[in-house]
Amino acid sequence: MMNTQIILANRPVGVPGPEHFERREVPVGKPGEGDVLIRVTHWSVDPAMRGWANDVPNYSPPVALGDPMRSFGVGEVLESRHPDYTEGDVVHGLFGWQTHKISDGSEISRKVTETDLPRSYALGIMGLNGVTAYFGLRESCAAKAGDTVVVSTGAGAVGSAVGQIAKIMGCRTVGIAGGAEKRRACIEDFGYGAAIDYKSQDVGGALAEACPDGVDCYFDNTCGPISDAVMEHLALGARITICGTAAVTDWNPTPMGPRVHRQLLVARARMQGFLAFDYADRTEEALAALAGWLREGELTVREHFLDGPEAAMDAIGMLYRGENTGKLIVRV
Amino acid sequence: MMNTQIILANRPVGVPGPEHFERREVPVGKPGEGDVLIRVTHWSVDPAMRGWANDVPNYSPPVALGDPMRSFGVGEVLESRHPDYTEGDVVHGLFGWQTHKISDGSEISRKVTETDLPRSYALGIMGLNGVTAYFGLRESCAAKAGDTVVVSTGAGAVGSAVGQIAKIMGCRTVGIAGGAEKRRACIEDFGYGAAIDYKSQDVGGALAEACPDGVDCYFDNTCGPISDAVMEHLALGARITICGTAAVTDWNPTPMGPRVHRQLLVARARMQGFLAFDYADRTEEALAALAGWLREGELTVREHFLDGPEAAMDAIGMLYRGENTGKLIVRV
């Protein structure tokens, strides 16, 4: 039995593309005492993977050349010699881009028990994306009913969850996304009160119209010119959550932008970096809420599937080019 | 009896200087029913006054041309027809650059009752500077014992109070100031554990040496290159308080600087605008603590006096050129 891997073959600067990866087939080993053998069926594609592939200081060490690309995945247990897992269990974890993973359990983040929902949800709304949206909005942004909440990448995997949770919480929601189709999705699929297409609209003017009382919460996945425009419209006491920086592909050297100090001072606003891992001990709380909303039909999820291992090689590039139409997942 | 005023005669762009002010003598009026007549003896000179003189959006409306320059002051009541004040009371408030002020009480911020301390302290350590330091450090920076606290303009009126209060709280303190004399003052007068002269030292290298575990709290009065250097040394969970932006003299257009988003994200740090006015209902708490530390000799205060009304005209410039050696006050 062979394990198909997509390995990091060259160190990228910026967004990794097909030229940085290679397909490799290696024999699937035998799980030792205490191990489980997992057939990984779905690989996740997330913006943070750009940082994992680059050799720059980050909140995770870079992936070693020759290793399967680091990624979250979901799969089922084929064989277990671990007391906590049984054949047939569905598990989620940091399994990398490979079809088979032998783990001592340390890479498994959780057993997927909500078997009434699609397994792939564990990579998105019932995984890091949903948990990120939940805590980023409720804790870091400290959103409350009546707030005007602006979300960049408003139709994205995290952003669409932020917008919908904010609406459930009683906030006014404004989504920013690129292109007419994503703008349509913001309004029609994800229920934003207003949506802005940054590719065809003047973001500043559209924000002034959509947020007459200013922006209370800005959930930022982009950095760059979109964020610069939002910063011009802060309400007093605004909270800005920096969750991602998709518009900036290279941080070496640090790119320049308008200084935010005076905007923060005048609005007594706060700007805060956010990583869902810091709320790991409260994951169950978020998953229970998300599963409840999904079952009640209050959360709409869009997934974009690619098929076969080779499709992974350009998948991070697709994300950064904005070509995906939902949570990007490789089925293998 | 004449009232000597320093009025804003021309609208400055950037830092106002002598060419923007004129001296004017007008008769002192008679206080009406409900008014007090105050002999203002000390005028305050504060960085925020640059913003008050400029006609740009700010947290206060700009000073009208022809009006006395807006400033805090302290003085004594010459005549009172107001039930709350008696002849001889010492009062602090927004009296402007003039020797006599008739007020219905709305411009008076408080009666100065700590008459065992110098009256001028009401303009600094026992006024906005001390209250700013107290709440900015304890609430916005959320400093706690053991934190490494870095203060820009570490020898300034606010900064020197921040550094000393942080030391009292059990923090490690690092002051950044311009010039050998201010660096000496940081160490010898204000008790910083380390001090950096940004004019003669490499700030980044000196910070790395002084903060081997990174910066937990950064109390920023400067913006600009000093802040950019501090942002390279954030500890996990760092708190940055934006209290002033002295290094930037003009915000129109917004100056460019390195984008802070990734630094905030990697450190899960927060950067927050702070204005002491937001803690107005807790002023008594701060003043009681500050007076206690002053009486116990735990707080050192340096004041820089200018004499006579005309000296005020270049005083804001002196602040921005870093020429003052303590809290800048005009005695009139």
Give the domain ranges of chain B.
Answer: 2-124+301-331, 131-277
Per-residue pLDDT tens over the stretch B15-58: 999 999 999 999 999 999 999 999 999 999 998 899 899 987 66
* pLDDT for the residue B57: 63
Asked whether residue A94 carries a pLDDT value surpassing 90, the answer given is yes
Per-residue pLDDT tens over the stretch A202-218: 999 999 999 999 999 99
What average pLDDT does the segment A115-139 reach? 96
Q: What does pLDDT average to over chain B?
A: 95
What average pLDDT does the segment B248-265 reach? 92
Cβ of A57 and B266 within 8 Å?
yes
Per-residue pLDDT tens over the stretch A109-118: 999 999 899 9
* pLDDT for the residue A320: 87
**Global pTM value:** 0.86
Class of residue B285 by CB neighbours under 10 A (exposed 0-12, middle 13-18, buried 19+): middle
Q: How confident is the model at residue A60 (pLDDT cuts 50, 70, 90)?
A: confident
Q: Tokens in use for A235?
A: 């309400």
Bond into B253 cis (ω within 30): yes
How far apart, in whole angstroms, are the C-alpha atoms of residue B180 and residue B163?
A: 18
Q: Residue count of chain A, please give it.
A: 332
* pLDDT for the residue A57: 63
How far apart, in whole angstroms, are the C-alpha atoms of residue B127 and residue B104?
A: 21
* pLDDT for the residue A247: 85
Asked if the C-beta of A268 comes within 8 angstroms of chain B's C-beta atoms, the answer is yes
- Of A60-64, A180-184, B87-91, B264-268, the least confident: A60-64
How far apart, in whole angstroms, are the C-alpha atoms of residue A105 and residue A219?
A: 33
Asked if the C-beta of B181 comes within 8 angstroms of chain A's C-beta atoms, the answer is no
Evaluate whether B324 touches B316 at the Cβ level (below 8 Å).
Answer: no
Q: Tokens in use for B209?
A: 């040496």
- Of A72-76, A229-233, A246-250, B287-291, the least confident: A246-250
- Residues 107-136 in A contacting B (C-alpha not used; CB under 8 Å): none
Asked whether residue B59 carries a pLDDT value surpassing 80, the answer given is no
Closest to B273 (Cβ–Cβ): which among A256, A266, A273?
A266
Phi, psi of B220 (to 5 degrees): -105, 120
Q: Tokens in use for A281?
A: 């001990």
Closest to B278 (Cβ–Cβ): which among A223, A244, A268?
A268
DSSP for B283-324 reads HHHHHHHHHHHHHTT-----EEEEESGGGGGGHHHHHHTT--
Which residue on chain A is closest to B251 by alpha carbon? Answer: A262
Q: Do domains B2-124+301-331 and B131-277 have the same CATH topology?
A: no
- B328 pairs with which residues across the strands? B304
Residues of B in contact with A243 (CB under 8 A): 265
Evaluate whether A196 touches A174 at the Cβ level (below 8 Å).
Answer: yes
Phi, psi of A62 (to 5 degrees): -70, 155
CATH 3.30.70.1230 holds for B2-124+301-331: no
Class of residue A193 by CB neighbours under 10 A (exposed 0-12, middle 13-18, buried 19+): middle
Asked if the C-beta of A278 comes within 8 angstroms of chain B's C-beta atoms, the answer is yes
What average pLDDT does the segment A125-133 reach? 95
Residues above pLDDT 70, as percent of chain B: 99
- For A207-326, list the strands marked E by DSSP: 215-220, 234-242, 256-258, 270-273, 303-307
Asked whether residue A61 carries a pLDDT value surpassing 90, the answer given is no
Q: Indicate left, alpha or beta for B223 from its phi (over 0: left) and psi (-120 to 50: alpha).
A: left
Cβ of B259 and A262 within 8 Å?
no
- For A15-123, list the strands marked E by DSSP: 21-27, 36-44, 73-80, 90-93, 100-103, 108-111
Question: What is residue A173's DSSP assignment?
Answer: E
Q: Which residue has the higher pLDDT, A320 or A185?
A: A185
Which residue on chain B is closest to A276 by alpha carbon? Answer: B268
Cβ of A258 and B258 within 8 Å?
no
Which residue on chain A is closest to B279 by alpha carbon? Answer: A268
Asked whether residue A82 carries a pLDDT value surpassing 80, the answer given is yes
Cβ of B261 and A58 within 8 Å?
no
Chain A nearest CA to B23, separation (Å): 31
Residues above pLDDT 90, as percent of chain A: 89
Residues of B in contact with A255 (CB under 8 A): 258-259
* pLDDT for the residue A308: 97
How far apart, in whole angstroms, are the C-alpha atoms of residue B269 and residue A274?
A: 8
Nearest alpha-carbon partner for B105 in B115, B114, B95: B95
Bond into A16 cis (ω within 30): no
Mutate to test the interface with B, among A158, A226, A239, A262 (most CBs of B within 10 A): A262
Per-residue pLDDT tens over the stretch A170-185: 999 999 999 999 999 9
Per-residue pLDDT tens over the stretch B110-144: 999 998 999 999 999 999 899 999 999 999 999 99
Q: What does pLDDT average to over chain A?
A: 95
The CATH label, of 3.40.50.261, 3.10.20.600, 3.40.190.10, 3.40.50.720, for the domain at A128-277 is 3.40.50.720
Evaluate whether B128 touches B72 at the Cβ level (below 8 Å).
Answer: yes
How far apart, in whole angstroms, are the C-alpha atoms of residue B190 and residue B205?
A: 23
CATH 3.40.50.720 holds for B131-277: yes
Asked whether residue A59 carries a pLDDT value surpassing 70, the answer given is no
* pLDDT for the residue A172: 98
Cβ of A274 and B265 within 8 Å?
yes
Asked if the C-beta of A200 comes within 8 angstroms of chain B's C-beta atoms, the answer is no
* pLDDT for the residue B58: 62
* pLDDT for the residue A190: 97
Mutate to test the interface with A, among B141, B251, B259 (most CBs of A within 10 A): B259
* pLDDT for the residue A110: 93
What average pLDDT does the segment A90-98 reach? 97
